[in-house]
A and B are shown apart, each in its own frame.
Chain A
């Protein structure tokens, strides 16, 4: 999609600048004249919403950091100080706290959009991989941010998650010590988590730039999955995409605002308003909602994996759970190669479409189970859903591409649009 530039500097200064640092040209070519498919629907606005949320988190985070103290004796009090004494502190903190949740809502919709429309397929593999990297960095950032208020969930969440590393044979304990700065979660841990929580969002900004760059090399997909073939298939980014994105952002921000003002603690655990106590584990440790599906997968592996009919254990349940959890995330990286179908969009893949929705339900189910106690029927259900989660990627995606008979694919985006909306207006 890159190619000749249509930018013509108007003012004298514009011409002078353009010959020295063509920044205005870059912006014009990327966000004004840039051609986008004419049939993009609302699911395609979440990229813009994600960029907005990243800015919201950066701005609110930087001002929170002006009032927050990363020390175990003062962290909890400093967050209460932000809530009660700092001018508008309550608003800034609730924006940051709910902002993390809304960031994840947007990223999950964005990812499932990608699954549905086959956005990861040739030639967009690198674009997809950069997206997965952003997702992982986001999870690390949110995890460390959640430790900062130093409540009970902060402390015990950090304890449980960093203990994952002790599952690694031989070097596990040393790695955990290196991460925590001690044998247990304590002040050194809080200090470094604050430093990294400040750093990672800026690394995310860097990867987002690469992500958008890759996007502008290959161009966007669209609901038909057919590549852009002529200028007729596209509209200029401004005003079409700009306005659509702005409208979607506004609606999204309205819901966000409703949460901030009317139910600011709905998405959080009340337990985190209790100061961290290193001698008392809360009766139920539940991570933030956006981690629940992965948490359910972690807890689903309650059995050792070994050589049948012997006592030899190859992977104990602890290591197994950790591997399954990381595996459920890392498998995203190879999705472009697991999906063997040449057809991109689920619109023309009747079987895939059904399995897509089953997969969505499986993920929601895992999320539900992640918040339930790990016992009895809940564990069994989590095991079934975990099995299906991996089955979807490892078996269904490759096999469907071979056996499915896709519906007839339109010759072009324009043809599909006209077929749907009736009369051709030339």
Chain B
């Protein structure tokens, strides 16, 4: 609505718009603290790293640790499991991306090698949260001998790659680093 009947915008129109704009910015900046308080707080964000001693995990065994409240699967894979994972052709994978946060290339192919550290292929370290709706898959189960999520029936193979069921992505490999042969730092 213009203040007068002239077709040109008047000084008053500009003032209306400017006032409205300042008001909108004011409302938005007032609302922001109310929304942002819901985001993760400083104490939650602080739990960013953990160090894990893996010396007690024998071949064919797994360890579950908590990192940022999430379960981390650390598995010492058998020869057979590694072979099985390598035998799969990329064509057969539902998700062809490695999903490994340690790789620079975020679209790297989901080969077994791209999901582990070279020279330490037996160690498969991943976030134990089903990429469907967040349940925790059970180890050494399912049609592909890897993990099986009981919630809605997702099957992962021995490299943690999704093979069957509703989950869209491979299990996530979190950022981690071997500090020594028996110590890993996650995060």
Contacts and interface: CB of A to CB of B under 8 A. Distances in A.
Interface of A: 156, 159-164, 166, 177-179, 181-184, 186, 188, 192, 278-285, 299, 301-302, 316-318, 321, 373-375
Nearest to B134: A163
A181 B41 contact: yes
B57 interface: no
Interface string B99-141: 0000000000000000000000000000001011111101000
Nearest to B127: A183
A318 B41 contact: no
A178 B39 contact: yes
B21 interface: no
A285 B149 CA distance: 11
Given A160-B135, A280-B136, A285-B151, A184 B41 contact: no
Given A278-B69, A281-B135, A317-B166, A181 B39 contact: yes
Nearest to B164: A302
A160 B151 contact: yes
A181 B38 contact: yes
B69 A182 contact: yes
Nearest to A279: B71
A160 B152 CA distance: 10
A160 B35 contact: no
Contacts of A178: 35, 38-39
Given A178-B35, A279-B136, A375 B153 contact: yes
* Chief secondary structure at chain B's binding surface: loop
Contact of A192 (B38, B131, B138): B38
Given A160-B133, A285-B135, A318-B168, A177 B39 contact: yes
Contacts of B39: 177-178, 181
Contacts, number: 86
Contacts of B69: 182-184, 186, 278
Given A177-B39, A284-B150, A318-B167, A183 B70 contact: yes
A186 B71 CA distance: 13
B165 A182 contact: no
B166 A321 contact: yes
Q: Size band of the B side of the interface?
A: 20 to 34
A110 B125 CA distance: 52
Contact of A183 (B68, B150, B166, B167): B68
A35 to B, nearest CB: 44
A89 B66 CA distance: 36
A320 to B, nearest CB: 9
A318 B71 contact: no
Q: Which of B66, B136, B150, B152 has the most CB of A within 10 A?
A: B152
Q: Which of B35, B129, B133, B149 has the most CB of A within 10 A?
A: B133
Given A159-B134, A318-B132, 8 more contacts: A160-B135, A177-B40, A179-B38, A181-B40, A181-B41, A183-B40, A183-B69, A318-B167
Contacts of B68: 182-184
B29 interface: no
A181 B152 CA distance: 25
B71 A278 contact: yes
B56 interface: no
A316 B168 contact: yes
Contacts of B136: 279-281
A371 to B, nearest CB: 13
